[in-house]
Amino acid sequence: MKDSIVNWIREYFVAQGNPPAVVGISGGTDSSVTAALLCEALGPDRVYGVLMPCGEQHDIDVSLALVKHLQMPYRVVNIAEPVKALASLVGAAMDCDPNETDAYKTNTPARVRMTVLYGICALLGGRVANTCNLSEDYVGYSTKFGDAAGDFAVLSTFTKTEVREIGRELGLPALFVEKVPEDGMSGRSDEEKLGFTYEVLDRYIRTGEIEDEAVKAKIDRMHRNNLHKLLPMPGYGKEETK
């Protein structure tokens, strides 16, 4: 499986004129597998990792271990100050504390991170990797114009279960492949927040099989309500996508 992905990456970058790749490194499985695939396809010297803690990050040691394991160049950009400054600006304009709203508090750091990635990308003349997987995309567990953005997507057709399989095929240590998925801000795992496991979600995506009707209804609702993150932007005079 991974050889086909590696070949696709090489072809994409040749068509782009062989720029470097820029990838955000969170310490999670998706960014770890994406970075490893890029390093195998392009060579680690052409893959630029960016670690972006927001203040203190309890698992940043995993991110540091990954870039050292892959022997790729990297920089650490702490986004705490720009996130705080933006909240101050927005709060002053709207006469409120925006961080009291979950949608703002959750999505803004992701969008600041993407701004950092594109800032570095502009300096390097590179291409930004999207690290989202099919499972997250299917239920909208991503931030529009945040981690859902990028110039190319390596894992968007693979479920979380399949991403782990790719990581094992790449020979990544279990530290990077089996890490419990989390957003790094809420103190809860992805599965706790979603209300179902990736195993259940991935089986439903691939086979349509699911035993719990309430979970099925929730997944269907999340997928339907978050299609705006996946479909092309609608515009007047364009053919609508149902």
In this prediction, residue 184 carries a pLDDT of 62
pLDDT band of 2, cuts 50, 70, 90 = very high
In this prediction, residue 153 carries a pLDDT of 97
Helix 2-15 / helix 29-42 crossing angle, nearest 10 deg: 60
pLDDT band of 7, cuts 50, 70, 90 = very high
Residue 220 three-state SS: helix
Mean pLDDT of 19-42: 97
- How much of the chain exceeds pLDDT 70, in percent? 96
pLDDT in tens, 43-78: 999 999 999 999 999 889 999 999 999 999 999 999
In this prediction, residue 12 carries a pLDDT of 98
Q: Is the pLDDT of residue 214 over 70?
A: yes
Contacts of residue 242, defined as CB under 8 A and 6 or more positions apart, other chains included, come to none
In this prediction, residue 186 carries a pLDDT of 62
In this prediction, residue 181 carries a pLDDT of 77
Contacts of residue 133, defined as CB under 8 A and 6 or more positions apart, other chains included, come to 30, 155, 156, 158, 159, 160, 162, 163
To the nearest whole number, what is the mean pLDDT of the chain? 95
The Cα-based distances of 33 to 174, 175, 207 in angstroms read 11, 12, 24
Contacts of residue 206, defined as CB under 8 A and 6 or more positions apart, other chains included, come to 159
233: DSSP letter:
P
In this prediction, residue 189 carries a pLDDT of 86
In this prediction, residue 187 carries a pLDDT of 66
In this prediction, residue 164 carries a pLDDT of 97
pLDDT in tens, 72-127: 999 999 999 999 999 999 999 999 999 999 999 999 999 999 999 999 999 999 99
Q: Is the pLDDT of residue 242 over 60?
A: no
CATH topology for the 2-229 domain: Rossmann fold (3.40.50)
Report the predicted TM-score, pTM, of the whole model to 2 decimal places.
0.94
* Strand order, beta sheet including 127-130: 74-76, 47-51, 21-24, 127-130, 152-153
Mean pLDDT of 201-214: 98
How many Å is the Cα radius of gyration of the chain? 18
In this prediction, residue 190 carries a pLDDT of 85
In this prediction, residue 216 carries a pLDDT of 98
Residue 8 three-state SS: helix
In this prediction, residue 179 carries a pLDDT of 87
pLDDT in tens, 136-162: 999 999 999 999 999 999 999 999 999
pLDDT in tens, 169-193: 999 999 999 988 776 666 678 899 8
